[in-house]
Structure 1
């Protein structure tokens, strides 16, 4: 409290006392007890009111002791169990829990990780993949502003994600890897990598690349064989030595039958091999009849065109050609879908041909589009001409019904440049995305689709969609989200199937190590997304004939079911709506492959490098007696005394209001009682 405020309080006390004495004692020669009480109550009232006007503040200081955190991150992947290290891991975790000195010095937090990080010390060794770098990214968000040494209990075998040995660049905590495994080198043959396209075309041959690796000191011979069922399709003798310990094989296989073809590649194991699982790789290729050819028509170059081409061709079933409006007419029938990029008067012949043949199309309208031309040739919609542009953010319409749309975090995508003005549709349409300006929805379409006269059309009212693809990569470290979004739009436009109330999104085959998620959408009779329906999927194993039923869970703007627990096999399924007689059927295969079983040793080098880079230390699981003592002796991890000062103004002290109320009420009551009122 400042000296100036203290002076005001003293003056307030003198003034309050003077007013009280003036009223009750100036005309009296003696002090009666009742007048003294009245004076005191009046003094208390006036002084309290003046205190509220002055409003002095008081500093409240709280002192607390904050212990450092000890983060224990435990590998929950199946590779730990495959290396037979699960008992040693659980014993070490139990030793931390039972150590009273560690409990006293640290706040201990337990996490398990595989695909994702979870706050739990419940270990099942069931995760099918490991992403150590993602675990550190998530831990960094929690412990960024604290002292939190991290004990990492793992074999160091990461199946996907960024290289974790450089995690210390972002995760500024000392890391103590507990290495599950040993440094013993075993003789091992394995298929290190297998590259094959997901699709092939009937009567063609598809390329296959296999990278074979040998770990050992002796010269050995083996055989590389690829089979389909019991039929051998490819075979080659392989020779390895200590110095010549890898080989890349490139070959082709025939695509003779439409559908999913299953294959098994085997590098014949040696009798002395410890791990023979990594000698085999199952793979599948879907053979299709023809490739969808798509034309992007534009009379100028723009990054959007390249981004669309990359996204569409990410699916091997599709090919894209970039053509000029003057050159497409001669090869018009070569394409199943035409994309018109910012059309103008030079597109007149193309649009006439599309209209006469009732062909599907995708129109992109931007600042370089001739709106007068669009308004003249289009019978379905028109755009107000203002010669002004505006930046519009995308807003997902969760009630869009023609096909399933995954939210690729549209709110984080940059705005598109669009022509300012109202868009008027003359026919019913559905918007995938609406325009949003500075967080305010305009209910104007940004990306819409409609069906009329037997044809389908999509219209995007914006330029610079290439920035969406770039931002999608920044968000997810992958183009897959954006590419799948464009792929579904292209698939919808390239077919002529009628709208369905029940839509299913699934793949024809899945790798056994990945998540198997099937998505569904259900719409009411007005084609509005119905969240009240209950969907169930009945799965039938075609080999064992076993049937299982799973419920769909409503998540975001679709229904989902996780079938990752199913073993590798070939399945058929039927999705049914509980309240209505609507169902859809399909089938898929799960390939036998467990990436976590491909490892023979712990990745000691990376874990030791991780410890060095983060100013920590590494320990083998068999020699962990020093890790606890090292943590206890390290002077970097000491309790921190923190003080927090909170300034409280008197006006927030509610008891003062009670004092004023009580003193005024008591004075009035006593004056009334003594006949002074």
Structure 2
């Protein structure tokens, strides 16, 4: 085997440390220049692929320089969008050695959700051989995971403080506390409303519920001694209670082993049974429709089929009901038992998470396999189309238009695979791209849109110094020799005179059914015909 290369590798591990399992000697032909040119470049950039809106995230930039001792360069960090390039940071770097390395760390504010594009640049120094590797771009996906929660109560209650403390342990949650008689805010700006002891005899929440339904805001009802049960039954379709809120009952929690919408730790399952009792109105509790029960009520050590926590869904919006007040006692008990609030936090946070997850009811969806691609990766799409019964179909054609920063359009048609759609759009150059897919179903045009980014590797520009020592070591490892292009004649003679290199003879055998030999068939037929003729002629028949 003959390998002609400069010995520079820019992806994967050092080839010297891998076992190629060659069955012949390896001869390397050394190309390129081993002289270190005057150059500064980015050795590496380390950053999170995902950050959260409102957070700060670090970026580590590794910088190398050769033969630049005494020079000064500036490193600049910039944020790039379609409208502007904004400088985020800038520092001067003094290069004090001809073989120089340093690392710089920057903190970036995640100020806008989506895929953020950043660039780091090094100002060139006098006499620098290669300026192409003086800049590098990277991408970070900024997720807006913040949730605004409203604790709307009939009156002050220790549960409110306990719930706020539990919820705000997660920095992505913001909690407001308000009382029904004083509330006049915009209910649509919240991702979740927790209704404590509402509706009550004094507070009708019909108007609030109408606005929540219009905005698609989910709700968690906490039923207590101030809850008006008739109004409560009219306000949701998860649980119905036939009883009187003037009479209360103490209940404890019993885990429902048939519940599978989220997982619960075994420790919490066991500890739930000894948590302090909650107060709930006395009455008969029934689960409505297809609602699912997470916890049952345990009354006086007897497990019942009355729900303590249950979930329902209507038109893609979820509702949860907790049929008891006194969660603050659970939180105190958790701390006394475990010196932390982890168990109650797990229970409440998973209840909130399940309630706030929205079911995607779109009939047409398109997505890319990832949001950021390298310029040597193919951009892949998939699409799903649903009929009125939400069955996946792929009868009509789906069109896709991709547009780059300059406004150039690329048009495609999806392939149909089983009951969905796929598309391999191949490679794209570095830049930001938007896409719009469309399909006509039942006479209506459905549209889905999105964005993706492509980052340039530029791997060949970061190391331009040939590694002939690596080629020499590789050749020796596999019983060969390293040579220069001027010695190709020597290589030819060496290969021709190598006694270990011999011609390879291959023997193959093939068989054919005799029925395929047509000439033999006609020969036999001819002989039989001749025999018949001769017998006939000489009177043997």
Please classify the TM superposition score into its range, dividing by the shorter chain length.
0.5 to 0.7
Which secondary structure does the structure 2 equivalent of 1:640 belong to? coil
Which of the numbers 498, 515, 518 marks the counterpart of 2:360?
Answer: 498
Q: 1:494 to 1:645 in 2, by over 3 A?
A: farther
1:201 is matched with: 52
2:90 is matched with: 235
Q: TM-score, normalised by structure 2?
A: 0.54
Which of the numbers 464, 467, 484 marks the counterpart of 1:600?
Answer: 464
Q: Deviations over 1:117-138 (max 9, x none)?
A: xxxxxxxxxxxxxxxxxxxxxx
Instruction: Report the Cα distance in structure 1 between the residues aligned to 2:354 and 2:48, rounded to whole angstroms.
Output: 23
How far does residue 539 in structure 1 lie from its aligned partner after superposition?
1.7
How far does residue 554 in structure 1 lie from its aligned partner after superposition?
4.8
Q: How does 1:256-275 map to 2 (within 5 A)?
A: 256-275=111-130
Residues 439 and 446 in structure 2, CA contact (< 8 A), matched pair in contact too: yes
Q: How does 1:366-405 map to 2 (within 5 A)?
A: none
2:382 is matched with: 519
Instruction: Report the Cα distance in structure 2 between the residues aligned to 1:332 and 1:665, rounded to whole angstroms.
Output: 105
Unpaired runs of 5+ in structure 2? Answer: 148-164, 173-251, 265-286, 293-311, 319-352
How far does residue 203 in structure 1 lie from its aligned partner after superposition?
2.1
Of the structure 1 ranges 263-272 and 651-660, higher mean CA displacement relative to structure 2 is found in: 651-660
How far does residue 608 in structure 1 lie from its aligned partner after superposition?
2.7
Instruction: Report the Cα distance in structure 2 between the residues aligned to 1:582 and 1:621, rounded to whole angstroms.
Output: 61
2:492 is matched with: 628
Instruction: Report the Cα distance in structure 2 between the residues aligned to 1:648 and 1:592, rounded to whole angstroms.
Output: 57
Instruction: Report the Cα distance in structure 2 between the residues aligned to 1:664 and 1:501, rounded to whole angstroms.
Output: 77
Q: 1:225 to 1:651 in 2, by over 3 A?
A: closer
1:49 is matched with: none
Matched, 1:279 2:134: yes
Residues 219 and 242 in structure 1, CA contact (< 8 A), matched pair in contact too: yes
1:245 is matched with: 100
Instruction: Report the Cα distance in structure 1 between the residues aligned to 2:487 and 2:354, rounded to whole angstroms.
Output: 60
2:8 is matched with: 157
How far does residue 163 in structure 1 lie from its aligned partner after superposition?
3.3
How far does residue 586 in structure 1 lie from its aligned partner after superposition?
1.3
2:408 is matched with: 546
How far does residue 181 in structure 1 lie from its aligned partner after superposition?
1.3
2:438 is matched with: 576
Q: Deviations over 1:234-280 (max 9, x none)?
A: 22322333376211222312222233322211122212111112121
Instruction: Report the Cα distance in structure 2 between the residues aligned to 1:291 and 1:635, rounded to whole angstroms.
Output: 73
Instruction: Report the Cα distance in structure 2 between the residues aligned to 1:354 and 1:647, rounded to whole angstroms.
Output: 65
Which of the numbers 454, 467, 471 marks the counterpart of 1:590?
Answer: 454
Unpaired runs of 5+ in structure 1? Answer: 1-149, 293-329, 337-347, 365-376, 382-450, 457-490
The structure with more strand, counted as a fraction of residues: 2
Matched, 1:175 2:18: no
How far does residue 592 in structure 1 lie from its aligned partner after superposition?
4.7
How many matched pairs? 360
1:616 is matched with: 480
Instruction: Report the Cα distance in structure 2 between the residues aligned to 1:523 and 1:565, rounded to whole angstroms.
Output: 29
How far does residue 183 in structure 1 lie from its aligned partner after superposition?
1.3
Q: 1:246 to 1:577 in 2, by over 3 A?
A: same
Of the structure 1 ranges 650-659 and 583-592, higher mean CA displacement relative to structure 2 is found in: 650-659
Instruction: Report the Cα distance in structure 1 between the residues aligned to 2:466 and 2:488, rounded to whole angstroms.
Output: 16
How far does residue 361 in structure 1 lie from its aligned partner after superposition?
2.1
How far does residue 575 in structure 1 lie from its aligned partner after superposition?
0.9
Instruction: Report the Cα distance in structure 2 between the residues aligned to 1:252 and 1:562, rounded to whole angstroms.
Output: 36
1:23 is matched with: none
Which secondary structure does the structure 1 equivalent of 2:505 belong to? strand
2:540 is matched with: 674
Which secondary structure does the structure 2 equivalent of 1:575 belong to? strand
How far does residue 332 in structure 1 lie from its aligned partner after superposition?
9.2
Which of the numbers 372, 394, 397 marks the counterpart of 1:534?
Answer: 397
Residues 44 and 63 in structure 2, CA contact (< 8 A), matched pair in contact too: yes
Residues 182 and 620 in structure 1, CA contact (< 8 A), matched pair in contact too: no
Instruction: Report the Cα distance in structure 2 between the residues aligned to 1:558 and 1:157, rounded to whole angstroms.
Output: 43
Q: 1:153 to 1:524 in 2, by over 3 A?
A: farther
Q: 1:643 to 1:509 in 2, by over 3 A?
A: closer
Which secondary structure does the structure 1 equivalent of 2:480 belong to? coil
